[in-house]
Amino acid sequence: MEHPDIRFDIVYGASDNEASWWDNSRARQLGYRPTGKAEDHRAHAVAEQAKVGPDPVGDLFQGGTFTSMEFTNDCE
């Protein structure tokens, strides 16, 4: 993404979600308009996640079970 008014910035190329991990308002200011909504797939994703079961690390951090693979710190 290029914009004449900035040199560096942090924005996310994420779908248009009501429940989001990030504040992506800066991307919108720069003209980013997502075309999809992950919300449309929420019920299926939640049902599949329920099959995995609880994961104290994966449930805390974005990335789910992938974040707990080599995690060795305390979550509290």
Domain boundaries, the chain: 1-36, 44-76
What was the pLDDT predicted at 1? Answer: 66
Q: Is 58:64 a contact under the CB 8 Å cutoff? A: yes
Mean pLDDT in residue range 10-18: 84
Q: Of all residues in the chain, what percent carry a pLDDT higher than 70?
A: 99
In whole angstroms, give the CA distance from residue 23 to residue 11.
9
Whole-number average pLDDT of the chain: 84
Q: Is 52:65 a contact under the CB 8 Å cutoff? A: yes
In whole angstroms, give the CA distance from residue 61 to residue 59.
6
Name the pLDDT band for 72 (thresholds 50, 70, 90).
confident
Handedness of CA 19, 23, 24, 28 (dihedral sign): positive
